[in-house]
Structure 1
Amino acid sequence: MSTDQQVAPPAAQQPERFENPGLPEHRGRLADLDPRAAKRAERQVALIFAISALASVVAVVAYFVIPLDSTLGSVRLSNLILGLGLGVGMLGIGVGAIYWAKTLMSNVEYIEERHPQRSDAETRQVAADMMQHGVEDSGIGRRPVLKGAVAGAAALAPLPFLVPLVGNLGGDWNVSKFRHTLWGETPEEFSGQLPDGSLGRRLAIDPTDTPIKAADVTIGSVFHVIPHGLNEAEHFYEEKAKAVVLLVRLDPTILKEPADRQDWSYDGIVAYSKICTHVGCPVALYEQQTHHLLCPCHQSTFDITDQAKVVFGPAKRPLPQLPIAVDDEGYLVARSDFNEPVGPSYWERLK
């Protein structure tokens, strides 16, 4: 063994407790020593909180001022300002709180001896006094400017969350909004005439809005379709979100159609809503060999040979089917609207 190797003393020679070396001498900060520096730091913290509050207000104002149903650019601008306002508002509160703690709150280190988990009454009172001392040391009571600034920023920060939530969902939590789509509307310029003389909204390829003929749909082909003329709808995004449909042509012999749906398809062509009945994700993955539609979000799987029934995953009901036919010019048309609300199953509970 090397002569310079250190060997720990026997346990019997070790002291029961080591002497506390203590803490180095505390060095005061500029704000601790100079009242003017403390006042300057206080104004800086208040300014940070004010910027946070202003960002939250700008986000809320932008939500109401910028229209969401005019152009794609306005939607992007609204989302950008909302996101920036929300981010700056939350960031400002965090930065302000940290800067406040670093410049104005006590930075003295305290040592507390270890003790049993349950302290005696006297020790618990000491801890309570220390907490009270910390509150007093933060200066919240004698710094009304900071108190008002942090309270205002904290009160306004949630508004970019709450205002769009209430504004967008307040009136739309109504099953009628999801029961009716543009497939049920038949403007003459966008519709075709059925053999019985009635009109049906033509199916058009998304996004070109080109009407599609039955002869153009071959077995195994898939088309994403929308109501013809949807691009001219007043609320384009809302209406498209409800009306998007997946069109597929199958061998008619493998279709399992109940008696009340015999006229909902045409020569093996079937049309189903693309909106998953689980949480509303787009069901757009078609497995040609199994004839299954797959939702990429939570893997709900629907069998389009059997009324788009659920064969796997968390969805609780089939995809709504769009009844289709062919007009007098050979174009595919919707015989009527969906016979049930599109989208997640929870809308059904609002009846």
Structure 2
Amino acid sequence: MSGHSDNLPVADDGNPGLPEHTWRPTDVDPKAEKRAERQVAALFGLSAVCAVLFVVAYFSLQVGDNHDTVLGLGASNVALGSALGGALLFIGIGIIQWARKLMADHEISELRHPAASSDEDRAATVAALQAGLEESGIGRRPLVRNSMLGAIGLLGAPVVVLLRDLGPTNAQVADAATGQGLEHTVWKQGVRIVRDVVGTPIRPSDIEIGDLFNAEPATIFETDEDGEPLIEGVPLQVAKSKGAVVLIRMDPADNTPGRGRKNWSVDGILCYSKICTHVGCPISLNERKTHHLLCPCHQSTFDLADAGRVIFGPAARALPQLPIAVDSEGYLVAQSDFTEPVGPSYWERDY
């Protein structure tokens, strides 16, 4: 669309100076019009085929250690990328061809008006939009319309399939013995609390008032009925990172235990999850005098002297606390697993 300023009105005869309109073959030849319509519908159909091929490739091609290859590349990646790219490409080409060959291509010129349009102008605009819809042929070209809607609709299939890669559900992996799922960690009764990295067990006498340091569950060598480790290697390290905690010691008089948590501490020593309940960042910035623990990512602040309550920032719930005790050898151990899920909040969390 071209426009003219109010200071440059059109000629007296009403001619804005646009070149004479050139008719396209599809404007004057019904056969060419039908042929173009079939071409556009075919492009939309190819898009739909590519969307279906994406789903087929997702479930049929192997990934992992024994993955299929194409020219040395992962066949799954090549197929998924090509299929999704083709689905989007053919829809784009189809729309372009529809606009070039079938939609009205008359150039329009009008004078510019003030921003606040009159009621008459608004009515004229609505009428022009309606005319545009009619000229696009979407109402009288069911083949083009339906094939386009089908292609766009099938584009939802790759999106739905890809949701599967978000990971298994909590019910599929829930296992208290190995700390899998959203509701469990490897902590359980009797598991020793050890210093992060070095892995040495901790006695209450090792911690002074005001101290805060990182800790983790001791390495667990539980086996199944066949004598095989329940969890080892990378899964073990992941499970231990999920069970990461911070230990802090304060004057017992400063601590306000949460409901039912009077026996969760040892001589003023408290243990909390190290994972922020906002988006899961590791927390360790301690304000020694206030017992406030600050997350460095988004400044969520938790009061460790008040059951890990949130006092500032975007976190929506308190820091989970681990109940602790002392074993027969005088080392700090867990009384049980966390009584609530650790890490970021999620919509299915049981409060």
Do the aligned partners of residues 167 and 273 (structure 1) sit closer, same or farther apart at CA in structure 2, a change above 3 Å counting? same
Q: State the secondary structure of the residue aligned to 1:222.
A: strand
Determine which structure has the larger helix proportion and give its number. Answer: 1
- What displacement does 1:293 show? 3.6
For residue 181 of structure 1, what is the amino acid of its counterpart? Answer: H
Kindly indicate whether residue 20 of structure 2 is the aligned counterpart of residue 25 of structure 1. Answer: yes
Residues 216, 245 of structure 2: 8 Å contact kept: yes
Residues 242, 275 of structure 1: 8 Å contact kept: no
Partner of 2:214: 222
Partner of 1:256: 255
- TM-score, normalisation: structure 2: 0.61
Partner of 1:117: 118
Q: State the secondary structure of the residue aligned to 1:149.
A: helix
Aligned residues: 311
Residues 55, 86 of structure 1: 8 Å contact kept: yes
Partner of 2:299: 299
CA distance in 2, matches of 1:242, 1:203: 11
CA distance in 1, matches of 2:314, 2:23: 61
Q: State the secondary structure of the residue aligned to 1:317.
A: coil
Residues 180, 337 of structure 1: 8 Å contact kept: no
Partner of 2:145: 147
Percent identity, aligned pairs only, is 38
Residues 226, 245 of structure 1: 8 Å contact kept: no
CA distance in 2, matches of 1:82, 1:205: 45
Residues 301, 310 of structure 1: 8 Å contact kept: yes
Residues 194, 201 of structure 2: 8 Å contact kept: no
Kindly indicate whether residue 316 of structure 2 is the aligned counterpart of residue 321 of structure 1. Answer: no
Partner of 1:196: none
For residue 134 of structure 2, what is the amino acid of its counterpart? Answer: H
- What displacement does 1:282 show? 0.9
Aligned partner (choices 187, 197, 200) of residue 190 of structure 2: 200
CA distance in 2, matches of 1:125, 1:252: 71
Partner of 1:312: 312
Partner of 1:56: 51
Residues 271, 324 of structure 1: 8 Å contact kept: yes
Do the aligned partners of residues 300 and 212 (structure 1) sit closer, same or farther apart at CA in structure 2, a change above 3 Å counting? same
- What displacement does 1:261 show? 3.4
Do the aligned partners of residues 57 and 183 (structure 1) sit closer, same or farther apart at CA in structure 2, a change above 3 Å counting? same
For residue 258 of structure 1, what is the amino acid of its counterpart? Answer: P
> How do residues 212-291 of structure 1 correspond to structure 2 at under 5 angstroms?
212-214=200-202, 219-223=211-215, 228=220, 232=230, 244-253=242-251, 256-258=255-257, 260-266=260-266, 270-278=270-278, 281-290=279-288
Partner of 1:192: none
Q: CA RMSD in A?
A: 5.4
Do the aligned partners of residues 120 and 341 (structure 1) sit closer, same or farther apart at CA in structure 2, a change above 3 Å counting? closer
Do the aligned partners of residues 252 and 120 (structure 1) sit closer, same or farther apart at CA in structure 2, a change above 3 Å counting? closer
**Structure 1: gaps (5+ residues):** 1-13, 187-198
Partner of 2:225: none
- What displacement does 1:148 show? 4.0
